């Protein structure tokens, strides 16, 4: 009987996850948050992938200007 409960709980959690993912995709983006870009000057984590990508793009934009 415990096996059946485990399967039912797992199925319910999976269904809840799928439902919440679909609802999250339908949620509109709030005003003013459409084109966010990281500041990358406050955090100070040197090996962050986002920071590296941001600095590379910033360097390319400075070279083109």
The secondary element (H helix, E strand) that includes residue 4 is helix 2-26
13-39, pLDDT tens digit by residue?
999 999 999 999 999 988 888 777 766
Share of the chain above pLDDT 70, in %: 80
pLDDT at 36: 72
> Can you say whether the dihedral through the CA atoms of 39, 44, 48, 51 is positive or negative?
positive
Higher pLDDT, 51 or 1: 1
DSSP string of 35-56, one letter each residue: T-----SSS--TT-HHHHHHHH
Q: What predicted TM-score, i.e. pTM, was given to this entire model? A: 0.51
């Amino acid at each position: 009987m415990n096996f059946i409960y485990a399967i039912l709980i797992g199925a319910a959690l999976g269904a809840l996850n799928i439902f919440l993912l679909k609802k999250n995709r339908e949620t509109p983006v709030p005003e003013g948050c459409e084109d966010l870009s990281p500041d990358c000057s406050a955090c100070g984590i040197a090996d962050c992938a986002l920071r590296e990508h941001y600095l590379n793009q910033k360097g390319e934009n400075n070279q083109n200007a």
